[in-house]
């Protein structure tokens, strides 16, 4: 990992030298936003789930966090940490990788590029660890089931899971694009209609690869003692041979941990392990400062940071990563 860290530093310095010497021209990046979905709630789509022990089934989950090390109006330097967790019965195995990345562009442009980079890292990590799974095991991704065309997960990941009969699901922490026919939050509306302690609402929308949507969208409530409802996308090849409720039921066995009641523990652990301590972020920040000074670009970089960070300093923040534990709009 140390050699990769040094390589990242070299790439960042070269990119910033190029920016300082040649400047940067704003570019337009095509934004392909996830479409909003309007669903007229249908009580007949709500089916009870069977609580399942899922003995000896493996659940592999991947998640990636992003923290800002340095930023200015036209660029940012970020630290990605992608973690991978394998849960089987009560045993947990996990690993992680970290990468520093220079990202040019204004705030809007960087936001799009950062999302792409996260999906790229998560896809690579999932592919690297797919050999630990067998037929009937689960791969859980964080987010919606969009694949390909620089806006989603790798299509190769989908194809490998399909060929190896691995149950690939995409579970979203939140579902802002799902609305009922009155424009309200669909998950809240369906929750009020449901009469079962655990259930699935299927489908909200079927997979449509022409729109890069590779999974059937549904809503699931996985724990009787939790009010949480999550969007879960079931890959289309799974529903060709199994009922949606049959595919989802094993998740109930890993959704009763008190740390994340109602949410699959494998995904919660992947999210938790992707977190980066402020002390480690400060170490990376100091390494960047030292490297910029050695490269003779420290003063210019500092001036661009000062042009951008005064609002943060007014709120008592010295470093960008102190602000960005959670992003709010």
| Residue 244: per-residue pLDDT | 98
Residue 227 structure tokens = 């009010």
- Average pLDDT score, the chain: 93
Query: Is 161 within the bounds of a domain?
Result: yes
Residue 252 has pLDDT above 70, yes or no: yes
pLDDT in tens, 53-90: 888 899 999 999 999 999 999 999 999 999 999 999 98
Residue 183 has pLDDT above 80, yes or no: yes
Question: Is the pLDDT higher at 329 or at 199?
Answer: 199
Query: Is 328 within the bounds of a domain?
Result: no
Residue 142 structure tokens = 């964080």
Report d(CA 51, CA 53) in Å as an integer: 7
The rounded percent of the chain whose pLDDT value lies above 90 is: 83
The backbone torsions φ and ψ at residue 87, rounded to the nearest 5 degrees and listed phi first, read: -115, 125
- Render the burial of 157-179: b for 16+ CB within 10 Å, e for the rest: bbebbeeeebbbbbbbeebebbb
Residue 109 has pLDDT above 80, yes or no: yes
| Residue 139: per-residue pLDDT | 98
| Residue 32: per-residue pLDDT | 62
Average pLDDT score over residue span 203-231? 96
| Residue 27: per-residue pLDDT | 66
Average pLDDT score over residue span 281-298? 95
Q: What is the pTM of this model?
A: 0.93
Query: Is 64 within the bounds of a domain?
Result: yes
Domain range enclosing 69: 2-322
Domains of the chain: total: 1
Average pLDDT score over residue span 161-167? 98
Query: Is 329 within the bounds of a domain?
Result: no
Per DSSP, the residues of 165-213 read T-EEEEEES--TTEEETTSSBHHHHHHHH--SSSEEEEEEE--BGGGTB
Average pLDDT score over residue span 136-152? 92
Query: Is 264 within the bounds of a domain?
Result: yes
| Residue 3: per-residue pLDDT | 65
| Residue 1: per-residue pLDDT | 53
| Residue 328: per-residue pLDDT | 37
Query: Is 8 within the bounds of a domain?
Result: yes
pLDDT in tens, 120-137: 999 999 999 999 999 999
Query: Is 239 within the bounds of a domain?
Result: yes
């Amino acid at each position: 990992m140390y050699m990769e860290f040094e390589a990242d530093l070299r790439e960042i310095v070269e990119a910033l030298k190029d920016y300082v010497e040649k400047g940067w021209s704003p570019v337009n990046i095509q934004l392909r936003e996830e479409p909003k979905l309007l669903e007229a709630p249908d009580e007949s789509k709500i089916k009870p789930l069977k609580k399942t022990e899922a003995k000896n089934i493996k659940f592999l989950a991947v998640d990636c966090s992003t923290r800002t090390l340095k930023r200015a109006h036209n660029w940012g330097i970020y630290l990605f940490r992608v973690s991978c967790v394998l849960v089987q019965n009560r045993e947990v195995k996990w690993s992680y990788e970290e990468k520093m990345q220079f990202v040019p562009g204004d705030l809007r442009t960087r936001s799009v590029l950062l999302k792409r980079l996260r999906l790229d890292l998560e896809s690579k990590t999932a592919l690297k660890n797919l050999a630990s799974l067998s037929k009937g095991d689960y791969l859980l991704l964080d987010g919606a089931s969009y694949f390909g065309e620089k806006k989603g997960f790798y299509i190769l990941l989908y194809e490998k899971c399909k060929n190896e009969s691995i149950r690939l699901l995409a579970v979203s922490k939140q579902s802002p694009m799902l609305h009922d026919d009155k424009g309200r939050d669909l998950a809240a509306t369906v929750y009020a209609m449901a009469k079962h302690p655990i259930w699935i609402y299927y489908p909200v929308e079927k997979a449509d690869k022409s729109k890069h949507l590779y999974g059937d969208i549904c809503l699931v409530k996985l724990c009787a003692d939790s009010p949480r409802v999550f969007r879960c996308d079931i890959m289309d090849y799974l529903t060709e041979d199994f009922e949606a409720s049959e595919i989802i039921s094993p998740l109930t066995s890993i959704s009763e941990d008190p740390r994340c009641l109602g949410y699959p523990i494998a995904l919660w652990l992947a999210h938790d392990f992707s977190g980066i301590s402020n002390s480690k972020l400060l170490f990376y920040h100091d390494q960047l400062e030292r490297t910029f000074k050695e490269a003779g670009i420290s003063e210019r970089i500092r001036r661009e940071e000062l042009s951008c960070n005064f609002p943060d300093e007014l709120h008592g923040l010295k470093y960008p990563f102190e602000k960005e534990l959670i992003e709010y709009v």
